[in-house]
Structure 1
Amino acid sequence: MKKTNAARILDNLKITYEIKPYKVDLNDLSAIHVASEVGMNIKMIFKTLVARGDKNGILMACIPGDDELDLKKLAVISGNKRVEMVHMKEIQSLTGYIRGGCSPLGTKRTYPVYLDSSALTLQQIAVSAGTRGEQLLLAPADLIAAVNAKTARLTK
C-alpha cells in the first residue's frame, strides 16, 4: 500500500495513526458505506466537506458521517457572514483530492479546518487518508494539532 500525502504528514509530525483499508463502491461513496466497510460506528467516521466563506474564502469542515453541516454555525465560527458548499467539480482543483477521498491533511493549499466538537468525546476518529478506499484512524487531539483545527458544534 502506497502512503498518501496525509499519512506522510502524520509521519513527519510523529503522530500515531492506523490506516484502515476498505472496499470502494463507486455507486455509494457515503460515510455510512465507509463505516460499514471498516466496521466502525458512523459517529467515528468524519467526512471532510469543502466550503467557501464570503469573507475568508475556502475552508474545510469535518463532521460525523451521518450528520448534516450547519452552514450558519460554520459561518459564525469561521468569521464569515455566509458560507456555502463548494461545487463538487471544484474540489479536486482546490484540494488535490476527489470526492470520497478528501482529507483535511495534505491539501494543495493550507485551508482553515473546523472539526465538530463531538470528536472531543471520542478516543479515536477516522478521516479520509486522501484516497478512496483508505481511512486514517487517529486521536482527535492529534488531528487538531496536525491541521491546527478549531473545534465547534458544526452540525444541525
Structure 2
Amino acid sequence: MTDHSKTNAMRLLDAAKLPYEARFFDASAALSGVEVAAELGLDPDRVFKTLVTQGKTSEHYVFMIPVACELDLKKAAACAGEKSIAMIKSRELLPLTGYVHGGCSPLGMHKLFATAIDETAALYDTIFFSGGRIGCQIETSPHALEQLVGLRYADLTVV
C-alpha cells in the first residue's frame, strides 16, 4: 500500500503557495530512477535525481540531474567553486538531510544547501523529482523549485 500523506517537500510547496502535483507509485521493489520514470510513464529526461556531495572544504552541495545521467564531478566542483567534490556515503544521507537513499528531495532537508540543477531542466515547463519518500515524485516547474532553494543552472552531466 502506498502512503499518500504529505511530506516536508509538499508542505514547503503548500506554504509557499506554489503549484505542484504529487505522483505516487508502488515502491515495494527497489527501482532505479529510470525505472521510476517508466513506472510513471514519464520521459526520463524530465525526471531528476537529487545527489548530495561534499567539497574539499567540507561544505555540502546538492546536484539535480536527469535520472539516466551521471554527475560529472569535475563540472560539479567547478559549479560549486571547489577544487574537488565527492558523493557522500549512503549512511551519511539520513543524518545530514533527513532523507533516505531513493527518497531524497531537494526540498525539506534539515539544512538548505547550495543547489544546482542540470541546465536541461530549463527546457521543460515542469520537471519531476523525489517528493521526500520512496514511492513519491513531485511535478512542479523549475521556477517554483528555484523560488524555494535558489537553484543554479549548470552543465553537470558526463557527456
TM bracket (short chain): over 0.9
TM-score for both structures, normalised by structure 1? 0.96
Match of 1:91 in 2: 93
- For 2:32 and 2:98, the matched residues in 1 are separated by 19
Q: Deviations over 1:3-56 (max 9, x none)?
A: 000000001111100000011144x33101110111101011100001001126
Please tell me whether residue 118 in structure 1 is matched to residue 112 in structure 2.
Answer: no
Q: What RMSD in Å do the two structures reach over aligned CA positions?
A: 1.0
Partner of 1:97: helix, strand, or coil? coil
Worse overlay, 4-13 or 28-37: 28-37
Which ranges of 4 or more aligned residues in structure 1 deviate by more than 4 Å? none
State the SS of the aligned residue for 1:63. Answer: strand
Aligned equivalents of 1:105 and 1:127: distance in 2? 10
Determine the structure 2 residue equivalent to 1:18: 21
> 1:15 is paired with a residue of what secondary structure?
coil
Distance 2:7 2:38 in 1: 22
Structure 1 contact 56–80 (Cα < 8 Å) conserved:
no
TM-score by length of 2: 0.94
Structure 1: gaps spanning 5 or more residues: none
Select which of 141, 144, 153 maps to 2:143: 141
Q: Could you give the per-residue CA deviations for residues 117-140 of structure 1, whole angstroms, max 9, x where no partner exists? A: 100001110010000000000011
Q: CA deviation at 1:143?
A: 0.9
Share of identical aligned residues, percent? 38
Which shows bigger deviation, 141-150 or 118-127?
A: 141-150
Q: SS of 1:104's equivalent?
A: coil
